[in-house]
Structures are given as structure tokens and as C-alpha cells.
Amino acid sequence: MKILVPTKRVPDTDQKIVASADGLRVETDHIPHVINPFDAIAVEEAVRISERLRDVEVVAVGIGGPEYEQPLRTALAMGAARGIIVQCAKPLDPWNVSRLLKAIVERETPDLVLMGKQAVDDDANQTGQFLAALLDWPQATFASRLEFIGNELRVDRETDHGIETLTLTLPALVTTDLRLNEPRYASMAGIMKARKKPLETIAAGELGVPLEPRVEVIRYRSGDTRRAGERLASLDEFAALIAQAAGIGG
Amino acid sequence: MRILVITEHDGTTLRPASLSCLGFAQQAARPSSGEVAWLVLGQGIADVAAAAAQYAPVIAIDAAGLEHELAESYARAIAEVVKSGRFDLVAAASSTFAKDIFPRAAALHGGAMASDVVRHEWADGRLLFDCPRFAGAVTATIALHGSPQFVTVRASAYPAAVPLSQAATVEPMELPPATFARRARYEGLRSKQTARPDVAEARVVVSGGRAFKSAEDFERYVGGLADVLGAATGSSRALVDAGIAPNELQVGQTGKIVAPDLYLALGISGAVQHLAGMKNSKKIAAVNSDPDAPIFEVADFGFVGDVYAVTPELIKRLEQNGAGATG
Ligand SMILES: Cc1cc2nc3c(=O)[nH]c(=O)nc-3n(C[C@H](O)[C@H](O)[C@H](O)COP(=O)(O)OP(=O)(O)OC[C@H]3O[C@@H](n4cnc5c(N)ncnc54)[C@H](O)[C@@H]3O)c2cc1C
Ligand SMILES: Nc1ncnc2c1ncn2[C@@H]1O[C@H](COP(=O)(O)O)[C@@H](O)[C@H]1O
């Protein structure tokens, strides 16, 4: 079995992120970048499957510039077998990422594409569903548990109304939610091994996918910050303010 | 401009978020004297379609193949209706239902999609959308290229549509059986039954964080306070991860986005990912034992103290307060 794991490189969103003064960019250059947290969960799950079942190859793929070596080496250090960088000059919107990923799926013919439900920079939550549609594969988004049963994959999904269970026939696409697992830290040995694992670079132009821009950003602005209010010393006053805001009582 | 709004329902009633999405569509349509229609999908949906027709004309697809909300069949059905009705814009309220199905439908029409729209404007004949990014730290104003365009809309950002003076029409539509083919099988849904309001829809939300050590404590303190306020309960990710609160209560970047009249955070530190889900609440109140907790930076009123001691005192005072209410 082969599992393809798309991984995006994103700024660490625990850091303070603001729009540039001219509104044309988001100031991220000075911020450390990481593997998108949901993609780390996808890598972890794929690696666990490869540890549990025989003959499972985990391939990580990133679409971006040469700086993608960093998140892909992280994926390799966590246990992926090889990596692919689809090199392109500038960041692409989810539609074009999904079209390039489709071309990679056609070359690699994986049984399962396992990827993050959303990238924490654009928060789009689109790419996996786009890709599933382009491939006409069954999908299970927001997965919190995976189990292979014969040739099928049983998935628990986190929905607004509870945990839904689906069974998918392979090949299939699954996007990860936070509670699927806790990604491991790459061990020193893992990091050493990762240096020797194959990391291939393909120019996006070679995939025969003409770009079709869909999202034009007109401007960015930093989110509205709220001002801190009062700190109450009296519980009576605090309770009264709560009652007032909730619209109960006097 | 022709706009199609996809309803979300539970088989009998429309979800309130869908009415806010219709509110968005009506605003967006107005400058071009556009038309807005609903799409109701499912099996046995006559009641929902009739309820929806109180607000706007309805296209109804009632089919056995739509018994469960599965992305493959729902996306194809939406795509078919969009094509045959020549809609320019397709909208749904942001929810796990729409996030699952909508991008898949958009991809069948060329992938022009915006997620979680919180504001829109017309500029030079183009409709622009504001979308939060980086957990809401930044808002991007974007234009989509291509048609039709698909958007999910944050319900709390738009007022609900108002009923028409006379109900509109319900137009049943049939789709070819191939629309409903799929390779995913529905097995079931496990949800915690609760008598409390839905956290995404409630006027008041009481949320608990890592301060609470067990499900019993969560129910007793967070649930207890919610009940005196007629509120929904919510939770930080920490408690959901720990299995103390069910996942459908998680508020935040990757949980539900809420904007109630009052959000009361008990023992929640205020991580950016949590703030992303509640910072647009009208009023925020917080109780935390750490005077430097970041939650106090966004709270309209805060109290420094131990939630195990403060919550019962609040319940007592609010019960008295409620009892004294005149209306
Ligand atoms: C990609 C990603 C997505 C995420 N999405 C979300 C999300 O959607 N929602 C979300 O909530 N989090 C999310 N998180 C997690 C987030 O970063 C925080 O870890 C989480 O919100 C912390 O929860 P907490 O405030 O309950 O716990 P903590 O940060 O541990 O805070 C507990 C607080 O309780 C206080 N406290 C402890 N005991 C008491 C007591 N007895 N009385 C009073 N106060 C007390 C402490 O002072 C502290 O401030 C996400 C993280 C990542 C990486
Ligand atoms: N440039 C990229 N390279 C590889 N994978 C990506 C890229 N952009 C998005 N993805 C994948 O798509 C998922 C969802 O992203 P998004 O739709 O942008 O929220 C991410 O979690 C990644 O798995």
C-alpha cells in the first residue's frame, strides 16, 4: 500500500502575525516556519499505519520553493520513506495546489491520500475536498480515527453534531482533525536517517498543469484587537455584570 | 446575479445559521437586483422545504440517495442544480456540513471558492469577500476569479433573513441516478444528547478549560452555571483532547466560531486558537486564577480566582438574580 501525504510549510501561528503597513503582505519572514500542524498529524498517522501493516510506503509531497526541504525532511525524520517537492515560483491557491496534487497522484497512484483538513495560514479547508472531487474518490474529512477493515477504511469524523462513522473503499482521501493522534518529535536517529532518504524535486511546469488563479488578494489587514476591560474585585459586581450581559434579572 | 443558498437542516427544521446565510445572499444580491433561491436537499424534506419557502423560493431535491449527508452525492447534486439554474454565486453557512461538501461541489465548477466570509462589498462591479486567516490574526479581502463562485459564510457576521409576507414556491427537481453514486458508506453518528442550546446558536455560552479535572466537574460547574443562565456549554481544546468535554463543544480556530451576547470563559488561558472562535462575542467575561492569563486581555470583565470556588458563588448569586426577575 502507498500513502501520499501532502504537507504545507506555514508560519508558526503561536507567534504574533500582522499585515504589513501597506496591506499588501502578511509579515511572516521573521517568523519560524513549521510543518502545518494538521499535516504533521497526517504524517504521524501514515507512519503508524506503516509500522502496523506490512509493505506500506509513505510519500510526503510539498508544493512550493526550495524552502520546502525543511518540512519534508521533518516528515522523513518522522518516518516517511521519501519526499517530493513540486517546485513553483510563488505560493498557489488551494485550487492550483489540488490540481498539481492530482498530477502527483496520477504518477504515484497511492491507495490513500492523507492530509491536513486546513492550512493554518490561509485557513481555507478546501484543498483535500477539491482533490477528492478532481480524482472522483470517496472522501472523509476531519478524521479522528482510522481503521483498515479488509480493503476498506473505516473513519470516525468530527462533525458539529457528534462523531460520524463512514466506510470508504480505496483509493480514498482522508483529511485529519486534531484528535487523530499526537505527532511524535523526530528522534536524533530519525533525523540522521532522513538525510539519506530520497527527496526528489519536480518543476511544477513539468506536470503539464497550466495554472488557473482563482484567489486574488486585494489587501490584508490585521484583525481587530479588543481592549481589555475591567478587573472586578467584588464577586457581587461581577455576577451583576454577567446577569446584565446575559439579559437575566434586574 | 443569481444566488443559490444551500440549506442545512436536521430533517425537520432549518438551522438558524442558514437563515443568516440567506441574509448575506439577500444583501449581496440587492445592488444588482439579483435573485436568491434556496436549495433543500435530503430525503423526506417536505417540511423543511415548506419552512424554507417562508423566506425565499425553494428548489427541493428529495431523493433516497441523499438520505445521509455524504460529500460525493451532495456535491454532485449541488453542482447539477447550479449548472441547470445558471447560478453565479452559491453560498452556505460555515459548518462541518458545508466545509465537507462545499469545496467538493466548487471543484466540479472550477474551484473559485472563499471560506468563512465575514463581510462583503461591491467594488468596480466585483463582489469582494473578507476572509479571516491565521486564526483571525489577519483578514484578507479577496476577489474570486471564475464563475460560478462558491462561498461559505460565517453566520454570526450576518443578521437572519426575515420571512416573506406570503410563502414562496417550492419547485421539486429530479436528478439522474448517477448523481447519487458514491464509494463512502454511512455507518452512524454518535452524539451526546443534551437539553442545552447548541453552542453555535446560543445567546449565552459558558465555556470551561483545563482548570476542570473531570467530566463530572465540568458538568457540575460549567453545566450548572450554563443552566442558570439558559446558556450553552462550550470548551477549550484542552478539555476535548482530555476526553472531559465532547468534541462538538470545542470553540476555536478548529472548532466552532461563536459570537454570543455573552461568552463566559472559566479556567481558559486564552490561546490565539481559542480566541479565534469567540473574540467577536458582544461581551466576554473570564474567571482565571492567573492574573496574567491572556484571556483577560480580551475580557470586558474579569475575576481573578479559583473556578472551583468562584463558580458555585456565581451560581448562587445568579439564581437569586434570576428569581428576582420581572420579565
Ligand atoms: C493547529 C491548532 C489548532 C488549535 N485549535 C484550537 C481550538 O479550536 N480551540 C481551542 O480552544 N484550542 C485550540 N488549540 C489549542 C490551544 O493552542 C490551547 O492549547 C488551548 O486552547 C488551551 O486550552 P485551555 O485554555 O483550556 O488550557 P490551558 O492553556 O492549560 O489553560 C488553563 C487555564 O486555566 C487556568 N486555571 C487552572 N486552574 C484553575 C483554577 N482552579 N481556577 C481558575 N483558573 C485555573 C490557568 O491559569 C490557565 O490560564 C489549537 C492548537 C493548535 C496547534
Ligand atoms: N503548498 C502545499 N503543499 C502541499 N500540501 C498543501 C499545500 N497547500 C495545501 N496543502 C494541503 O492541503 C491541506 C489543506 O489546505 P487548505 O485548503 O489551504 O486549508 C493542507 O493541510 C495540506 O495538506
Q: Percent of chain B, pLDDT > 70? A: 98
Among B73, B183, B248, which would you mutate to test the A interface (most chain A Cβ atoms within 10 Å of its Cβ)?
A: B183
Where along chain B do its domains lie? 2-180, 204-320
CB contacts under 8 A, B 249-278 vs A, are 253-254, 256, 261-262, 264, 271-273
B2-180 maps to CATH 3.40.50.450: no
Would you tell me which residues 36-95 of chain A have a C-beta closer than 8 angstroms to some C-beta of chain B? 94-95
pLDDT digits (tens, 9 = 90+) for B211-259: 999 999 999 999 999 999 999 999 999 999 999 999 999 999 989 999 9
This model's pTM is above 0.90: yes
In this predicted structure, the answer to whether residue B327 has a pLDDT above a threshold of 70 is no
Residue B103 in contact with partner chain A when CB distance is under 8 A: yes
Q: What is the mean pLDDT of residues A166-173?
A: 98
pLDDT at residue A6 above 70? yes
Pocket test residue of A8, A33, A105 for ligand 2, highest count of atoms within 8 A of CB: A8
Q: How far apart are the first and last CA of chain A?
A: 66
Nearest-CB residue to A231 (from B100, B302, B322): B302
Equal fold, B2-180 vs B204-320: yes
CA dist A180 and A41 (Å) reads 7
Least confident of B40-44, B45-49, B127-131, B254-258: B254-258
pLDDT given at position B185? 97
Q: What's the whole-number mean pLDDT along residues B163-172?
A: 98
Residue of A nearest to B240 (CA): A179
Across the interface, whether the CB atoms of A141 and B71 are under 8 A apart is answered yes
CA A83 to ligand 1 centroid distance, Å: 34
Mean pLDDT of A232-245: 95
Taking the centre of ligand 2 as the mean of its atom positions, its distance from the CA of residue B99, in whole angstroms, is: 15
> Tell me, what's the pLDDT at B326?
38
Residue in A closest to B228 by C-alpha: A248
Q: Residue range B29-45: average pLDDT?
A: 95
Residue B55 has pLDDT above 70, yes or no: yes
Contacts of A150 in chain B (CB under 8 A): none
Residue-wise pLDDT for B11-32, tens only, equals 999 999 999 999 999 999 999 8
**Model confidence at A190, in pLDDT bands (50, 70, 90)?**
very high
Among the bound ligands, the one closest to the CA of A123: 2
Q: How confident is the model at residue B322 (pLDDT cuts 50, 70, 90)?
A: low
- Taking CA atoms only, the protein residue closest to ligand 1 atom 37 is B211
Domains along the sequence of chain A with CATH: 2-246 (3.40.50.620)
> What's the complex ipTM?
0.95
CATH superfamily of B204-320: TPP-binding domain (3.40.50.1220)
